[in-house]
Amino acid sequence: MTFEGVPGLVETREEHGETTLVVDPARLREACLHLRDREGFNFLSDITPTDYLGWGKRGVAGYYGTEQGRDLNATAGLGVSVASQGYGRLPRPKLKRFSVNYHLLGLRDGAPRVRVQVWIDDGETLESVIPVWPTADWHEREAWDMMGIRFEGHPNLRRILMEDDWEGHPLRKDYPIGGEPVRFSEER
């Protein structure tokens, strides 16, 4: 299947047998409508935002490497000492901080799937796709709650899993784990 007619298509990737369409965020809803009406992707499985803050910079076990692969003599310009433990190779850099992935499925023979991916920075907004697939309602609320991504035109964009007065967006990479163990400990 080719996706050349998708509005705002930036790039098509094939990895692990999955198709990813990177789409211009400004034309997201247009692209989704096209995929639903012309390509038959009538089912929205999931909306998944991912935060890439600090991508490729964390120190895990092993040797630190470069993009070409493992290099024992790599300098500490990466922010982590050479002797620290890192990747076998550096992951490829990402376009912006957040990716939002729309996992689409066509309910027909062959069960075709496609992932629509848009890239945005903190503070940028996306169009809501509720007019395309009503199921997007809660998925978008969850994306707002967990990652702080705003959807323009969502009629009810409130927190869904956390409490209404919660501060911060827990699945962001800069949200600490184990920060304050007891929420009201400062209030005597």
Partner 1 sequence: MAIVERRRIYEGSRIPSPIPTVLSTPAELEGSEDVMRINFGPNHPSMHGVLRLIIDLDGERVVGTEAVIGYLHTGFEKTMENKSWWKAITYPERIDYVGFQNDELVFVLAIEKLLGLEIPPKAVWMRMLLCELNRIHSHLVFLGTGALELGAISMFWYCFRERDLVLDLFELVTGVRMHTRYFQAGGLAEDIPSGFFAEARKFCDWMPKAVDDYEALIGRQEIWLERTQGIGLLSAEDAIALGQSGPVLRASGVDWDLRRAQPYLAYDEVEFGVPVYTNGDVYDRYRVRIDEMRESVRIVEQCIDRLEGMQGEPWIADDRKVVLPPRHELHTSMESLIHHFKIVTEGYRVPEGEVYVAIESPRGEKGCYVVSDGGARPWRVKFRAPSFVALEATATCMHEALVADLIAIVGSLDSVMGDTDR
Residues at the site binding partner 1, with contacts judged by CB under 8 A: 15-16, 18, 20, 42-46, 48, 50-52, 55-56, 58, 60-62, 85, 87-92, 101, 103, 105, 107-111, 113, 115, 130, 133-135, 137-138, 142, 146, 155-156, 159-163, 170-171, 175, 177
Minimum distance, C-beta of residue 180 to partner 1, in the bound complex (Å): 14
Amino acid at 155: P
Q: Minimum CB separation from partner 1 for residue 112, in Å?
A: 9
Nearer CB in complex with partner 1: 127/142: 142
Residue with tokens 């939002």: 100
Least Cβ distance, residue 14 to partner 1 (angstroms) = 12
36/188 with CB nearer partner 1: 36
In the complex with partner 1, which residue's Cβ is closer, 12 or 50?
50
To the nearest whole angstrom, how small is the minimum distance from the Cβ of residue 48 to partner 1?
A: 4
SS (H, E, C) the chain: CCCCCCCCEEEEEEECCEEEEEECHHHHHHHHHHHHHCCCCCEEEEEEEEECCCCCCCCCCCCCEECCEECCCCCHHHCCCCCCCCCCCCCCCCCCCEEEEEEEECCCCCCCEEEEEEEECCCCEEECCCCCCCCHHHHHHHHHHHHCCEEECCCCCCCCCCCCCCCCCCCCCCCCCCCCCCCCCCCC
Q: Whose Cβ is closer to partner 1: residue 6's or residue 132's?
A: 132
Cβ nearer to partner 1, comparing 167 with 188: 167
Closest distance of CB 59 from partner 1, Å:
9
